[in-house]
């Protein structure tokens, strides 16, 4: 790979700009873990397609163009956090990300089940808490198309206390995975990409406000466990811009 810096394309928060979304967080953590020098290029939601379309094929499903994307020192681009992880693991083999370890897919499955229930929380909090005006308008309009109602109504119909009540039985599956090897990481003493998946998810919700974060931890029944996860990852989450 040619010499030079990598460029991470991320969607900014309102000022002061910083990382907030779970998928770019995965990529940031792996770049920090691999000691890869990079710069951040902030691109607002409605500008992603114009920025990326000339350089990378659209995603096969979901949003056609998404963050994170990574410009490599040789001028080529990658898009999708896992595509990026696989490429970086091939080009920078140590320290290993332990991609595809036996707990990675069960972890993803458990988080997906939680996300289904948490949809009214993150889809309504993201534009209010994180986004600048231009991205907020885009987010609210496109999510209205997906949800089928306004985000304001979606939030009123799904109050936090009722959402969190549904989470406790679902959290047990995630708790068992995270505790299986007795930490501090999912594989025990070794860091893996699975930890960055979980860490990005936790940071995403933690940034939405104390009421969301406290409700999530209470629903998990494992407050110290998840606070410990973030503490164990803190070396790779200090830089958020």
**Strand intervals (E) in the chain:** 6-10, 38-42, 69-71, 77-79
User: What is the dotted CATH code of the domain comprising 6-91?
Assistant: 3.40.30.10
Q: In the chain, helix, strand, coil percent, each to 5?
A: 55, 5, 35
The whole-model pTM stands at: 0.96
Long-range contacts of 92-95 (CB under 8 A, 24+ apart): 92/34, 92/36, 95/33, 95/34, 95/191
Task: For residue range 46-94, list pLDDT tens digits in order.
Answer: 999 999 999 999 999 888 999 999 999 999 999 999 999 999 999 999 9
Check pLDDT > 70 for residue 123: yes
Q: Are strands 6-10 and 77-79 parallel, antiparallel or unpaired?
A: unpaired
Q: Where are the domains of the chain?
A: 6-91, 104-236
d(CA 75, CA 2): 9
d(CA 231, CA 227): 6
Task: For residue range 6-59, list pLDDT tens digits in order.
Answer: 999 999 999 999 999 999 999 999 999 999 999 999 999 999 999 999 999 999
Peptide bond preceding 184 in cis form (omega within 30 of 0): yes
CATH class of 104-236: mainly alpha
């Amino acid at each position: 790979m040619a010499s030079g810096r990598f460029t991470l394309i991320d969607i900014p928060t309102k000022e002061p700009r910083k990382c907030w979304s779970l998928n770019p967080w995965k990529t940031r953590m792996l770049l920090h873990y691999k000691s890869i020098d990079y710069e951040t290029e902030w691109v607002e939601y409605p500008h992603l397609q114009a920025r990326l379309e000339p350089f990378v094929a659209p995603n096969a499903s979901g949003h056609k163009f998404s963050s994170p994307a990574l410009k490599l020192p040789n001028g080529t681009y990658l898009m999708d956090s896992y595509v990026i992880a696989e490429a970086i693991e091939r080009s920078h083999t140590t320290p290993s990300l332990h991609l595809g370890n036996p707990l990675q897919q069960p972890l993803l499955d458990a988080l997906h089940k939680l996300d289904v229930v948490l949809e009214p929380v993150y889809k309504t909090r993201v534009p209010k808490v994180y986004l600048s005006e231009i991205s907020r308008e885009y987010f609210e309009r496109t999510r209205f198309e997906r949800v089928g109602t306004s985000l304001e109504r979606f939030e009123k119909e799904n109050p936090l206390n009722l959402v969190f009540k549904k989470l406790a039985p679902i959290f047990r599956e995630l708790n068992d995975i995270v505790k299986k090897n007795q930490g501090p990481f999912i594989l025990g003493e070794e860091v893996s990409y699975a930890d960055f998946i979980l860490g990005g998810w936790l940071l995403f919700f933690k940034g939405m406000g104390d009421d969301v974060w406290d409700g999530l931890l209470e629903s998990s029944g494992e407050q110290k466990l998840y606070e410990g996860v973030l503490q164990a990852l803190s070396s790779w989450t200090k830089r958020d811009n």
